[in-house]
């Protein structure tokens, strides 16, 4: 839609007001201090010294020195106000009800945030993961918000390196490019080498960044305080959202923190020969300068270039998906920003992760809660699924879940028709965003980053394979975790998935086992051990009872067939009444291997690659040591004894005709 004259005027006014608001041309700290009036020098320097996000300290800095604050307010609130007036005008005229107009205003909002600088870019990115606050159309546009700004002058970058590392660039590096290879909102990257020739990437923070960020956070936080106090329609805690954003941005601005993240990530995935992480050079790293190993590779989304390396892009996508799921469900420490620029395909077939500024952690309770939610989703138990959202912190305990349950059923039922492995993750999250916007949901920060990470990963994978489904790729890993992990919570979740009341669902076990078999890391030995652990755990009581009942029935049937066979060998006058005329249908299959649990388990195991009977026979000594196996033997003997007494009285000592009459009158 072409811009109107009024829109063009609004854009021109906004550009004039913003002026030097974008930090791309910000002067170095000493030059900025010299240019500032004396009342601003103290707050500028004090803000530069803040090493962690502290709202009270930021308030003290700027509340007493209003000059810089007023200028920044003019640069931000005027264009924001002009934009809100335009949106209000569209709403009053009804134009906002047109999808094209709503989309255009959403794009304009994203562009405005990009113009306002780093803090607003980060705020927009944070809001792009908050369906409880932002309507769906704006959510999509904010998700496309680019984290890019013009590069700042390289002489300022070199001055920052020398100031922080205490030596000249020539002493620190054998070579360093004069121009950056990339620039983003927080810093820019140069290619170079150490004096010994090792290639490195050097990330240098924008000058004046911490001061600009603290000022913008102060402004945005106070706007959030006013909105919470005066706009009753806002359900979510905007102040808490800004504080979470501030905490994460300060973590990103501390390159010591990013260096530690990279080292921790590398240690957690050291066993995975398909994952590469650049080594950190601590001697050449400070809070504003990060020197790391240079890694040659191509973006995973550049399919032709990846194939030219002799690497299969689909295989690398699978490596990335498995690594992301391991980060999320196993380690609880995950890369929250896996965009195409941060994932490189290497010539040796490895997938390299870059940029560890935005990482997040998920507590074990939350990880298990996510798996429980998937179990309830697969089981279509939407009532329990709604309670999972309470446990995970999306809903308060006071919220009435009754209207939410049918909303979940509407969102998920159709998507589940083709099975969880074919579910369209993006479509489901979009529909779920609508539910979260209508009901009093509060999206936890860790969940927002998880969704952002998975949607980004799915977007990369779709560029490689148009039919890719993130949940389909995730399900084998999920199945393996559910089968192999001995965590009590996951044991209970496995039991809940496999049992429908007292009935064991063999089809679900088969689906889990065969899905887990798609994982290259599947350990058959461990899987069998975990299966035995489950069988002899408190949660396996129903399955053990089913096994005993089936054994009693089959052994009793086999004994009856043997008795009939022996009875036919006796002279007729010596046969008991019940054996005078053998019943039809006395034949049957081999009793022990015909036990449903044994038969079904063997059928499933035989489908696994690498399975052989020796895997089972080697576990016989362990089986014989199980106390529950001895109890099962006693239950089997007791059941057979009871059946034997019934057989003796009903089937052996009673005439067949009379027995049939009794069976009709009162079935056994």
In DSSP notation, 253-295 reads H-HHHHHHHHHHHHHHTTT-TTEE-PPB-GGG--SSEEEEE--
**Higher per-residue pLDDT: 282 or 244:** 282
Q: What is the rounded CA–CA span in Å between residue 142 and residue 128?
A: 5
Helix (H), strand (E) at residue 351: strand 351-353
- Give me the mean pLDDT over the 147-170 stretch: 89
| pLDDT of the residue at 660 | 56
Q: How far is CA 377 from CA 97, 260, 372, 483, 525, in A?
A: 34, 37, 9, 17, 29
Residue 502: pLDDT band by 50, 70, 90 thresholds? Answer: low
Task: Determine the 3-state secondary structure of 199 from DSSP.
Answer: strand
| pLDDT above 70 for 214 | yes
| pLDDT of the residue at 151 | 85
| pLDDT of the residue at 164 | 94
- The tokens describing 627, both together, are 């106390």
Helix (H), strand (E) at residue 203: strand 199-205
Strands 275-276 and 351-353: parallel
| pLDDT above 50 for 569 | yes
Q: What is the DSSP letter of 71?
A: H
CA angle in degrees (0–180, nearest 5) for 526-529-531: 110
Helix (H), strand (E) at residue 420: none
Torsion angles phi and psi, residue 419, rounded to 5:
100, 155
Top-ranked range on mean pLDDT: pick from 235-239, 359-363, 443-447, 577-581: 359-363
- The tokens describing 662, both together, are 């009794």
| pLDDT above 50 for 23 | no
Torsion angles phi and psi, residue 200, rounded to 5:
-140, 160
| pLDDT of the residue at 368 | 82
Share of the chain above pLDDT 70, in %: 73
| pLDDT above 80 for 526 | no
Top-ranked range on mean pLDDT: pick from 228-237, 479-488, 501-510: 479-488
Residue 264: pLDDT band by 50, 70, 90 thresholds? Answer: very high
pTM, two decimal places = 0.68
pLDDT of 606-656, one tens digit each? 776 667 777 777 777 877 777 877 787 888 788 878 777 776 666 666 555
Helix (H), strand (E) at residue 309: none
Residues in the chain: 668
| pLDDT of the residue at 269 | 94
| pLDDT above 70 for 325 | yes
| pLDDT of the residue at 395 | 87
Residues labelled as active-site residues: 337
Which residues, in sequence order, are CB contacts of 485 under 8 Å at separation 6+?
530
In the block, residue with structure tokens 């546009």 = 141
- Give me the mean pLDDT over the 314-320 stretch: 86
Distance, first Cα to last Cα, the chain: 79
| pLDDT of the residue at 658 | 52
Task: Determine the 3-state secondary structure of 187 from DSSP.
Answer: strand
- Give me the mean pLDDT over the 98-102 stretch: 87
Q: Are 181 and 191 in contact (CB under 8 A)?
A: yes
Task: Determine the 3-state secondary structure of 164 from DSSP.
Answer: helix
Q: Of the ranges 282-291, 402-411, 577-586, which one carries the lowest mean pLDDT score?
A: 577-586
pLDDT of 551-565, one tens digit each? 777 777 777 777 777
Residue 587: pLDDT band by 50, 70, 90 thresholds? Answer: very low
- Give me the mean pLDDT over the 298-317 stretch: 88
pLDDT of 123-151, one tens digit each? 787 777 666 567 778 877 887 775 556 78
Which residue, among 575, 555, 565, has the nearest Cα to 640 in the 3D structure?
555
Q: What is the rounded CA–CA span in Å between residue 108 and residue 120?
A: 14
Q: How far is CA 126 from CA 113, 129, 358, 378, 450, in A?
A: 12, 6, 12, 30, 12
Helix (H), strand (E) at residue 236: none
Looking at every residue in the chain, the average pLDDT score rounds to 77
């Amino acid at each position: 839609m072409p811009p109107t004259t009024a829109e063009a005027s609004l854009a021109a006014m906004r550009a004039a007001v913003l002026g030097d608001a974008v930090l791309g041309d910000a002067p170095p700290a000493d030059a900025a201090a010299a240019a500032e009036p004396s009342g601003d020098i103290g707050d500028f320097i004090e803000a530069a010294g803040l090493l962690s996000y502290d709202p009270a300290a930021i308030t003290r800095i700027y509340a007493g020195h209003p000059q810089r604050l007023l200028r920044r307010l003019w640069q931000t609130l005027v264009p924001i106000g002009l934009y809100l007036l335009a949106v209000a005008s569209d709403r009053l005229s009804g134009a906002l009800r047109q999808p094209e107009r709503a989309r255009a205003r959403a794009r304009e909002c994203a562009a405005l945030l990009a113009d306002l600088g780093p803090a607003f870019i980060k705020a927009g990115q944070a809001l792009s993961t908050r369906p409880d606050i932002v309507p769906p159309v704006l959510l999509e546009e904010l998700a496309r918000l680019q984290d890019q700004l013009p590069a700042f002058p390289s002489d300022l970058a070199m001055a920052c390196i020398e100031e922080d590392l205490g030596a000249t660039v020539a002493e620190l590096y054998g070579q360093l490019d004069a121009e950056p290879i990339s620039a983003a909102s927080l810093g820019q990257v140069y290619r170079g080498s150490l004096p010994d020739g090792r290639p490195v990437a050097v990330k240098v923070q924008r000058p004046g960044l911490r001061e600009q960020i603290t000022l913008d956070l102060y402004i945005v936080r106070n706007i959030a305080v006013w909105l919470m106090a005066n706009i009753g329609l806002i359900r979510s805690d905007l102040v808490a959202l800004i504080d979470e954003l501030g905490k994460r941005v300060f973590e990103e601005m501390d390159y010591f923190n990013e260096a530690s993240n990279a080292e921790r990530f590398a240690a957690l995935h050291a066993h995975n020969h398909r994952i590469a992480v650049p080594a950190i050079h601590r001697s050449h790293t400070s809070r504003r300068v990060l020197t790391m190993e240079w890694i040659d590779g191509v973006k995973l989304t550049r399919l032709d270039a990846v194939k030219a390396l002799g690497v299969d892009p689909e295989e690398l996508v699978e490596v990335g998906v498995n690594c992301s799921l391991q980060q999320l469900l196993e380690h609880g420490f995950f890369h929250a920003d896996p965009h195409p620029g941060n994932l490189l395909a290497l010539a040796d077939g490895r997938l390299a992760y870059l940029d560890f500024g935005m990482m997040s952690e998920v507590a074990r309770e939350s990880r298990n809660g996510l798996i429980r939610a998937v179990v309830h989703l697969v089981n279509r138990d939407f009532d329990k699924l709604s309670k999972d959202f309470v446990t995970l912190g999306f809903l308060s305990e006071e919220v009435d879940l009754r209207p939410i349950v049918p909303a979940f059923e509407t969102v998920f039922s159709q998507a589940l028709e083709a099975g969880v492995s074919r579910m369209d993750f993006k479509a489901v999250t979009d529909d779920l965003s609508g539910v979260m916007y209508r009901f009093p949901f509060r999206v936890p920060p860790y969940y927002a980053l998880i969704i952002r990470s998975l949607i980004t990963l799915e977007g990369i994978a779709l560029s490689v394979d148009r039919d890719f489904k993130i949940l389909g790729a995730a399900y084998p890993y999920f199945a393996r975790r559910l089968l192999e992990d001995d965590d009590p919570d996951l044991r209970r979740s496995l039991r809940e998935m496999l049992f429908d009341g007292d009935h064991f669902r063999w089809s679900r076990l088969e689906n889990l086992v065969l899905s887990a078999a798609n994982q290259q890391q599947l350990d058959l030995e461990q899987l069998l051990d975990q299966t035995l652990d489950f069988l002899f755990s408190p949660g396996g009581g129903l399955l053990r009872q089913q096994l005993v009942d089936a054994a009693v029935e089959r052994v009793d049937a086999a004994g009856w067939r043997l008795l009939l066979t022996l009875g036919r060998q006796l002279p007729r006058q010596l046969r008991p009444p019940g054996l005078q005329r053998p019943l039809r249908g006395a034949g049957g299959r081999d009793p022990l291997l015909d036990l449903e649990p044994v038969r079904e388990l063997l059928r499933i195991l035989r489908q696994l690659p690498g399975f052989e009977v020796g895997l089972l026979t080697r576990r016989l000594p362990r089986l014989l040591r199980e106390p529950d196996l001895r109890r099962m033997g006693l239950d089997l003997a007791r059941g057979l004894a009871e059946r034997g007494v019934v057989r003796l009285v009903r089937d052996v000592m009673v005439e067949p005709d009379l027995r049939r009459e009794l069976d009709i009158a009162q079935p056994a």
